[in-house]
Structure 1
Amino acid sequence: MHTVLIAESKSNSLAVPQAALQNQGFDVQTMVLENLDHVNQKSSKGVVSSIVIDQTIATSAKFDTINTLKSYYQAPVFVSVDDNNDDIQSLLLELGADDVIATHAKPRLWRARLDAMLRKCQAVAEQNSNNEDKVLTFGALTIKGDERTVMLENTLVSLTTHEFDLIWLLASQAPQVVSREEIYEKIIGQGYQINSRTIDVRVSCLRKKLGDNATSPQKIKTVWRQGYLFVKEAW
């Protein structure tokens, strides 16, 4: 049985997702997260497979909550939101969330999204074991599979887990175009959702961190109706 940790800004703020997950057979632990010290005080490290937090915690100006929880538990973080505002969802993904789900989503959808992420994490772990000795170099860009690091002009680029997975996928398949369907399957762990902007947001963040031109990208290009192209000669 998979264990899900629900971290709330106040008691019962995520009562609906909690009930949905319990309904679908997950073992659910809860804690009120007033500050990040509570991570050490209230829970045992490494015992959860996924984490669900509310929007208030995720967007707190005081703490880098999402990445702190991900680092401590080595588990994906889902943010529960009250509406489907694109700007809010984009912000949460930029902050490092692995997925964003509507608080009042049906139990079956909660189950499907968490299961998809668990499959993705397992696939990434297998891929990492295969990539341990691989180093990809393109001009001033070096990507190390064993360390999961990216160096650009001898400077370490800070990437989220998904951003590293994305750059590795694109770079390792260059000069082939990588379809949106393949990116969704391998990075998000879900089938392609035509109305979702998740991949667009992550590619945009990656371009920004790698110094690509936002309006006319030269390093990671969008190929209309096909996907994304990592340009080997642009580095």
Structure 2
Amino acid sequence: MEPEKDLNASLPRIIVVDDDTELLGMLRRYLGEHGFHVSAFTGADQLDRMLQREPYDVLILDVMMPGEDGLSICRRLRAQNHSIPILMLTARGDPIDRIVGLEMGSDDYLAKPFDPRELIARLHAILRRQKMQLNSVTWSCDDVIKFGPFSLNISRMQLERGDHVMALSSMELQLLKVFSANAHRPMSREHLLEKVKGREHESLDRSLDVQVLRLRRKIEDDPSEPKYIRTIWGVGYMFVPDSARD
């Protein structure tokens, strides 16, 4: 039995929270058959206990649940500095649900009903992005990037302001890392999306603008007049870390 335990330990660890027990059973079986170690629960209490006990690679979180819903859970985890990637399951596929989920700090979304193969593809994309985050050599930037009162620690993948660690999602951290590696260089939305989401992103994906807005709210004194993440009209965005000295 020991070799099987070692094998499970090497599998990507997924935690699923949904009040639909039939869907939970299906996801546990399907994801298990496709190389994932899956823990499935119906509520936030069980989720919190498991996140305290064990590390997980991705959280799949249903939006519409009784009690504390998925959006509230996502917002609370981000406020507690949990950077685990979150994939939200929305019941309607309403664009408003997707935007709200991204603003709360989710990394991706999938509308119900969904093709399980698409879920597998999205999970692999999230895991690839996580691997990119851990591979600091991929990005030719210093271990610590300082701008204004902030310090972006590349090796620990966290943003600090003095002694305080900022609450950022994994997607926001990845985006800030890409920006820091390309300071003073205008970058198109398409190029940024490819860097943070890989080649599988959709051509009309507007999640980047939501993530940029979230970052601005956290690091800019006035998000409507940003100093660090500037909009380059007709191009995209440019990161200016030394703007305070301009």
If the TM-score is normalised by the length of the shorter chain, which range does it land in? 0.7 to 0.9
Q: 1:60 aligns with which of 65, 72, 78?
A: 72
User: Secondary structure in 2 aligned to 1:204?
Assistant: helix
**Aligned-partner Cα distance in 1 for 2:75–2:232:** 37
Where does structure 1 lack aligned partners over 5 or more consecutive residues? none
Q: 1:97 aligns with which of 96, 100, 106?
A: 106
User: Secondary structure in 1 aligned to 2:22?
Assistant: coil
Q: Is the 8 A contact 1:78 1:97 kept in 2?
A: yes
Change (3 A) 1:140 1:63: closer
TM value normalised by structure 2: 0.74
**Aligned-partner Cα distance in 2 for 1:115–1:182:** 20
User: Shift of the alpha carbon at 1:216?
Assistant: 4.0
**Aligned-partner Cα distance in 2 for 1:155–1:215:** 24
Aligned to 2:144: 135
Change (3 A) 1:227 1:150: same
Q: 2:241 aligns with which of 215, 232, 235?
A: 232
- One-letter amino acid of the counterpart of residue 72, structure 2: S
Q: 2:169 aligns with which of 155, 160, 163?
A: 160
Change (3 A) 1:212 1:201: farther
Identity rate, percent: 21
- One-letter amino acid of the counterpart of residue 148, structure 1: M
Where does structure 2 lack aligned partners over 5 or more consecutive residues? 1-10
Change (3 A) 1:62 1:148: closer
Q: Is the 8 A contact 2:74 2:104 kept in 1?
A: no
TM value normalised by structure 1: 0.77
User: Secondary structure in 1 aligned to 2:125?
Assistant: helix
Q: Deviation per CA, 1:86-128, whole angstroms, max 9, x where unpaired? A: 2221221222222111121223321221111111111111127
**Aligned-partner Cα distance in 2 for 1:8–1:159:** 24
After TM superposition, list the pairs within 5 Å mapping 1:33-182 onto structure 2: 33-37=42-46, 39-40=48-49, 45-46=54-55, 48-55=56-63, 56=65, 57-60=69-72, 64-65=76-77, 71=82, 75-127=84-136, 134-152=143-161, 157-182=166-191
Change (3 A) 1:131 1:81: same
Aligned to 1:7: 17
Q: 2:197 aligns with which of 183, 188, 201?
A: 188
User: Shift of the alpha carbon at 1:80?
Assistant: 0.6
Residues paired across the two proteins, number = 230
Compute the RMSD of aligned alpha carbons.
3.7
User: Shift of the alpha carbon at 1:207?
Assistant: 0.5
Q: Deviation per CA, 1:6-25, whole angstroms, max 9, x where unpaired? A: 22235235567x28944972
User: Shift of the alpha carbon at 1:45?
Assistant: 1.8
Q: Deviation per CA, 1:42-67, whole angstroms, max 9, x where unpaired? A: 99623x54331211331237982577
